[in-house]
Structure 1
Amino acid sequence: MKKIINQPKDVVEEMVAGLVGSYPDYLKQVPETLVVARTDEFDSVALVSGGGSGHEPSHAGFVGDGMLSAAVCGQVFTSPTPDQIYEAIKATDKGKGALMIVKNYSGDVMNFDMAKEMAEMEDIEVASVLVDDDIAVEDSTYTQGRRGVAGTVLVHKILGGLAREGKSVNELAVYGEALVKDIKTVGIALSGATVPEVGKPGFTLDDDEMEYGVGIHGEPGYRREKIKTSSEIAKEVVGKLKAEFGWQSGDSYGVFVNGMGATPLMELFIYFNDVKALLEADGIKVAFTKVGNYMTSLDMAGASVTLIKLDDKRVSLLNEPVHTIAW
């Protein structure tokens, strides 16, 4: 294992310290926690998200005006504890309540629910939106139902814009529930991720192998085969997304190609180009695009494709400027 770290057990604490030290105009650390909060003043519902570390820039990179109010950094690939989530809610509540954006993993769901109960005992109104955009497999390691993956970033962006407009906790929760149904993702992997305290990849692929549907913690996908060209991979992935959405010519979608951490941008742009060509051949209007590393898996090589069904309001919210370090 080759990593630029000190002690493996200290990676999250040192990462958080380096993160807020690098961007003090954007972020601050809530004392005695692994919570990262926005530094600016705001007067709206607080948006709180988080999860296990190792997916950077998610979620701390999306804290700031127009997106999240706070992100809770759990240990690597491990849900943050309820008390840490509760501290994030308390630190950012402006008297208007909080909305939690939660990826669908059993530990996250349980711990965010417990934090919600703790906050409600302090008379803080809290609701949650559960993101389960990964259509590759129905049930997987750590989940009941579909996993929450890169589409979570789009939920941060759209709900962050609505919160900035002054929407209430309930309005955000209702909008978010409908929004998640229109966001779907499929990932592929070329290599596994190495958790620092484990010291070896969570799974291995031969030099000429790839796997469809791998999760952001290395959870199993739905098929392993010899590696294909970018255009062939795109055809497989877009085919699964088309079957799920059932789109018609003239429909409007956003395309988000996300790197898993170790795939060069050169390859992500090639992959995006192939995905976009297939959509346009079906008469789909591509009204929003995003390419880069946003929801990673440590040093995994691979990428995911997220499609979001769009209307004018969603396009507007996705394109609004924000003050975060990663969007």
Structure 2
Amino acid sequence: MTRSSRRSTSEDVARAAGVSRTTVSFVLNNRPGQSIPEETRQRVLEAARRLDYRPHASARTLAAGRSELVLLSIPDTRLGPGTSRFVEELTTALTEHGLTLVTHLAGAHGRLLPDVCATVNASAVVGLSPFDTETTEALYRAGAEVVLPLPDSRGDLGDAMESVGRLQAEYLISQGCRVLGYAMPVQPGLREMTEGRLAGVAGACATAGLAPPVVEEVGLEIADASRAVVRWRSSGVTGVCAYNDEFAIAVLAGLRDQGLGAPGDMAVIGVDDIPTARLAAPPLTTIRFDVHEAGRRRAEAIVAALAGRQHEQSPDAGGPQLVPRSSA
């Protein structure tokens, strides 16, 4: 069986349903204030379904006054499970508001973010961290109505990242660790968030009257983690805060490679509470985020901004929570 390669149009739907194109537009765009009989509305919807009709993006943009696309800028680096889950939750939450999420790898070889914004005609552009002033202005010039987070949000992001590191360190200190280490990922794309969390660890150490954390770069290879463990041991480190669970699990592997264990020889704590954290040997103590709540709140902020409203949210909603297990 062959099918026509021609894309169905609203005129085709109107002809099949026996109505005008204006009626088709009112029904499919769910225009308010139109007294269209339910029987007519159902006839249009059935014709559209039968013809597999999908409106052109440009036509929908013209009708709505803006596009339904939200462009998400993510670092061009290996995404951890926590970030991937957040993107999934944000996608789902935006879909409930009739918006579609498109992702762009920031810093990847290819087109710049403002160019992509202009090409897809995105109404909103969002990032995992605030854009600088120059990029923000370029995105507005490219047609974006909303850009989040804004440059002046960097302080808020830093505070959020520091709270994670502080929570990690405070728990290890409460467990008797007096010299802390920090497992920093080697990927430069993660450096901004890493430095924020490290600042929180350093702040907790200073508050407790302890020396600053001993920082070691760690890759996701046993040999890398094993070498870091040797250096931490020579510095007297008894507890390690890792950037996230993946690097914490690498540290646990490095300990085993040296014939050591957690928490007896060195306590270890991660971030994200990924599914494999509870399966680690020993089960990993970590910091959990409510990524469902975080995705929902970010989607609500985008929708509110597109409507010209200020989005109010509880500062504690979806915040970090300690998940104590056997590694610390």
- Report the structure number with the largest CA radius of gyration: 2
Same fold (TM over 0.5): no
TM-score range, shorter chain: 0.3 to 0.5
Q: Normalised by the size of structure 2, how large is the TM-score? A: 0.32
> Of Structure 1 and Structure 2, which has the larger fraction of its residues in strand?
1
Higher-RCO chain (CA-CA 8 Å, sequence separation at least 6): 1
> Of Structure 1 and Structure 2, which has the larger fraction of its residues in helix?
2
